[in-house]
Amino acid sequence: MTEIDWNMVSALANIVMATTAVVAAWYALRQFRASVKTSELEQILAMYSSTAQVMANNEGKEFDRDRIREAMNLLETHERLIAHGLLSKTAASFYRDAVSINEDITSIPDNTLALIRDVLSNDPRGYRHLIASLRKNEVTRYIINW
């Protein structure tokens, strides 16, 4: 009868444990990536939903100070989330595309532009993130020239 080589048994057991650890780490990484994508999707849908609700509440209505303030508050909230790193880069990019901050928005009517400037200039600390975002983009910089 052959004698059992306990060192070999121990080595095989170590290989099995190491392989199990590698597989578990790989699976955890896949789960993490899926979780990040799900989180980004939830952030994007929440931003879209809140923006759509503000737009629906104001559809067909003339812009006045309260409606402009409601829209500016929503934009400031999103800008604060981005500034504090609470939104992913994908969600931030979606937000900026959705609200056209990175697009040509030079066709704001004069009376609406005056209301926007009035709301922002009367509370520069409260809207500091939105103002900074508008200032950074050459296309939107004219909005905050007061």
- At 42-92, the pLDDT tens digits run 988 888 888 888 888 877 777 788 888 888 898 899 889 988 988 888 888
Rounded Cα distance between 105 and 134, Å, is 11
Burial (0-12, 13-18, 19+ Cβ within 10 Å), 47: buried
Contact between 69 and 115 (Cβ < 8 Å): no
Contact between 68 and 115 (Cβ < 8 Å): yes
Rounded Cα distance between 37 and 33, Å, is 6
What digits encode the pLDDT tens for the residues 88-109?
888 888 887 776 654 556 677 7
pLDDT of residue 119: 92
The rounded Cα 62 to chain-centroid distance in angstroms is: 29
Rounded Cα distance between 100 and 140, Å, is 10
The rounded Cα 98 to chain-centroid distance in angstroms is: 11
DSSP-derived secondary structure letter, 145: -
| Amino acid at the residue 101 | I
Under the banding of pLDDT at 50, 70 and 90, the label for residue 11 is very high
What would the two tokens of residue 8 be?
């070999």
DSSP 67-85: HHHHHHHHHHHHHHHHHTT
pLDDT of residue 141: 83
pLDDT of residue 102: 44
| Amino acid at the residue 93 | S
Query: Whole-number mean pLDDT of the chain?
Result: 86
What digits encode the pLDDT tens for the residues 110-141?
888 888 899 999 998 999 999 998 888 777 88
